Amino acid sequence: MPTEAQFQFPDLLVAGVDEVGRGPLVGDVVTAAVILDPLQPIEGLADSKKLSDKKRDLLFDEIVAKAKAFSIGRANPQEIDQLNILHATMLAMQRAVAALPITPEHVLIDGNRVPDLPMSGQAIVKGDARVEEISAASIIAKVTRDREMVALDKEFPQFGFAKHKGYPTKLHFEMIEQHGVTIHHRRSFKPVKKALGLL
């Protein structure tokens, strides 16, 4: 059965794009692009934030197995500090689309902005809850970034990255106060600037 996007754009090869990690104080902003296969439907796709860790992991594996194509794009903390988080996110989305092994003809993006792309694109507010391609991209991006935070936790166990995933939580603020910041922290973000004495 075709997805909603394939009903709306039946003659176009459509990719969905979403990002994870605009709000954290540490790590990359991660984006994903996904082209689904209408002949291999995936049940239960939804906004990744609304799913349990277990369900997200299961869907991640299913998307990887069944999608026509998927890719990851990212912008690192240095790029975020240099460009600002909005422009770094747009850059990460461009990178995800460019990395797809199949070139889409149309791109649906979660949110209200479309990055500069070599094909047509459309922003859809709350797209991660409304369009299966974007839901799939949100799951790929979220699981990828969460796993990277778990790996970073092993490198810097004192910061609790596996728990808060780099977001500005009470625990994270306490750890910054006790231990300073890592090379992976975003220096342009206010709490990090404050910890570095730059405010």
19: pLDDT strictly greater than 80 = yes
Residue 119 within a domain: yes
Residue 168 within a domain: no
How many domains, in total, are found in the chain?
Answer: 1
pLDDT tens per residue across span 23-60: 999 999 999 999 999 999 999 999 899 999 999 999 99
Name, in order, each residue with C-beta under 8 angstroms of 161's C-beta and a sequence gap of 6 or more.
26, 149, 150, 152, 153
Given pLDDT bands bounded at 50, 70 and 90, which one contains residue 196?
Answer: confident
**Structure tokens, 120:** 């047509």
Maximum CA pair distance of the chain? 56
The CATH number given to whatever domain includes residue 20 is 3.30.420.10
pLDDT at 157: 96
Calculate Rg over the CA atoms of the chain: 17
Residues 128-142 have a mean pLDDT of 96
Q: What number of other Cβ atoms are within 10 A of residue 184's Cβ?
A: 20
Residue 166 within a domain: no
Domain coverage including residue 89:
4-152
Given pLDDT bands bounded at 50, 70 and 90, which one contains residue 1?
Answer: very low
